Amino acid sequence: MGGWASGWLIDPAARAVTVLMLGANSYQELGTFSGDQVIESSEIAGLTLKVNQLFEVGL
Every domain of the chain and the residues it spans = 6-56
Residue type, 34: S
Task: Say whether pLDDT at 23 is over 90.
Answer: no
Give percent of the chain above pLDDT 90.
53
The pLDDT of residue 12 is 92
- Among candidates 41, 38, 40, 33, which has minimal Cα distance to 14? 33
Q: How confident is the model at residue 56 (pLDDT cuts 50, 70, 90)?
A: confident
The pLDDT of residue 59 is 57
DSSP letter, residue 28: E
- Contact (Cβ atoms closer than 8 angstroms) between residue 30 and residue 19: yes
